Structure 1
Amino acid sequence: MPLTSVEKDLDALTMTVTADFPVGVRRLWDAYVDPRQIERFWGPPEWPATFTRHDVFPGGTSSYYMTGPDGSRSGGLWQFEAVDEGRSFTVRDGFAREDGTLNTDMPTMLMTFSFTETDAGSRLVTVTTFPSLEEMEQLVEMGMEQGMTSAMGQIDAVLEDLRAFAADLPVAAQLIGDTQVRVSRVIRGTVEQVWRAHHDPELMKRWLLGPDGWVMTVADAAENVGDRFRQEWTREDGSDGFGFEGELLESHAPHREVTTEAMIGMPGEPSRNELTLTPVDGGTLLTLVITYPSAEVREMVLATGMTDGMEASYRRLEELVPVS
């Protein structure tokens, strides 16, 4: 149990939680910025968390829900106000409605997570500032302190599990809910390099090829929100061929973008792709959350070997780093 102390200051309207860990700051920091890791300890054991979005940059947002033993859900929302890479981040923490929007009927808190080196490893100090004494007492009564203590009781196992999140692992896909999949991979290179590789048409044609034997013939990128993109491939001998097109819905370079995506010439609703790039030990964590029109479409796409093709492409991308 890494928890060292919990101190409540009723005058300052703060609760300070201090915890010490036998690992370096970088390892501890990565556990908090990687959605695959934080969801393994953020919720109490009986209410595990699922992060559907985790954008650790100023102005970014994290959305998660915790699922109870009876299947009921409780949602949370973080809005990142400040991020000092490897040292601290501050979020506006609130409750979320079923549709993921902020529940303004419930209190919001300001939480600052500070990471420092110690002789034995690292220390995390979390300071929560409440809007009023009444709301502070309300949230403590709802079990906030116990929830944070419970989370600290689970983090040791995550920190010890180095292999599950190593930088040399291939693409991994995790099903989320009924229609989503989260694709993750650590790519050697900086966030800026990986972002550029996803947006420079000439670079895209060198790595975004999927399995061997294909060439990218069209790489029309969307530069501004509302623009459309188009990507096409054929076999090296010119036979066959397919492509995707869509619209750029959001862009927060070089950290996050959201697009629609549909196969050219195929009827039906497009998917929604949310790309997030996060600096971690070993490179850049690429997280792609894809929301499909239905569970059936999701299963059909995954059965095509999508992740194998993505892994082949990302290996080529790493060969281009550093991108000049």
Structure 2
Amino acid sequence: MGRTTIVKKDREQRKLTVERIVTIPLKLSWQGWTKPEHIERWWGPRNWNATVYEMDVRPGGVWRYRLAPDKAGEGEEAFCKATYSEVMELSRLVYTDTFTDPNWNPVAGSDMLTSVTFEEAGEGTRLCIITHFASAEELEAAEGMGMVEGYTDTLERFENEISLYITG
């Protein structure tokens, strides 16, 4: 859709910020992030698929999901469990995202505190994802494994898929 995703990396504060203004109204943007049937359509990098096993969007609630490459994608599937600590409807989600094994046992040292903010921007929504890492080395490792490209692809897919839902 010709939009730009802005990525900022701050080694000192150990955070990665990814921001994009999408041409989707605020309420639909929120639903796109909080309903499993929507998030499975766009979550993850291009050429990857998401499967949601559980999504309880409330403080203390859990979101369990798997990311796996489709036929055109490369890489190994990833299992993740996110636990919500803050949910402010139409405004903010905060969760700790953790890699797990296929039995949902956490992988030590993989916790990433993530916040997603939603803000009206003209006829669309400004989405801002901030991921905090335990160390600058973990931030660098995440970038090395393709997290920046993954978030960029994810927000592009979000805009395309939710826009199709709106118009289709």
Q: TM-score, length-normalised on structure 2?
A: 0.89
Q: Which has the higher contact order (CA 8 A, sep 6+)?
A: 2
Matched, 1:26 2:27: yes
Aligned 1:182-261 pairs, distance under 5 A: none
Measured after TM superposition, the shift of residue 72 of structure 1 is 5.2
Matched, 1:107 2:110: yes
Q: 1:116 to 1:96 in 2, by over 3 A?
A: same
Q: 1:20 to 1:157 in 2, by over 3 A?
A: same
Correspondence 1:79-228 to 2 at 5 A: 79-104=83-108, 106-160=109-163, 161-162=165-166
In structure 2, C-alpha distance between the alignment counterparts of 1:157 and 1:22, rounded to whole Å: 9
Secondary structure, aligned partner of 1:56: coil
Which residue identity does 1:48 align to in structure 2?
N
Q: Offset of 1:45 from its aligned partner?
A: 2.9
Whichever of the two has the greater Rg, that structure is 1
The letter of the residue matching 1:14 is K
Report sequence identity in percent: 29
Per-residue Cα deviation, 1:218-243 (whole angstroms, up to 9, x for no partner)? xxxxxxxxxxxxxxxxxxxxxxxxxx
CA gap of 1:152–1:52, structure 2 versus 1, over 3 A, is same
Query: Secondary structure of the residue that 2:115 maps to in structure 1?
Result: strand
Confirm or deny that 1:58 pairs with 2:29. Answer: no
C-alpha root-mean-square deviation of aligned residues, in Å?
1.8
Query: How far 1:156 moved relative to its partner?
Result: 2.1
CA distance in 2 between partners of 1:40 and 1:95 (Å) = 21
User: Which amino acid in 2 is paired with 1:101?
Assistant: N
Residues 151-188 of structure 1: CA deviation (Å, up to 9, x unaligned): 11211232221377xxxxxxxxxxxxxxxxxxxxxxxx
- 2:149 aligned counterpart, secondary structure: helix
Query: In the comparison of the two structures, how many residue pairs are matched?
Result: 163
Gap regions ≥5 residues in structure 1: 165-324
Deviations 1:98-131 (A, max 9, x none): 1122222x42111100000112321011111111
Contact 2:118–2:128 (CA under 8 A) maintained in structure 1: yes
Counterparts of 1:3 and 1:39, CA distance in 2:
23
Q: Is the 8 A contact 1:3 1:152 kept in 2?
A: no
Q: Which amino acid aligns with 2:36?
A: P
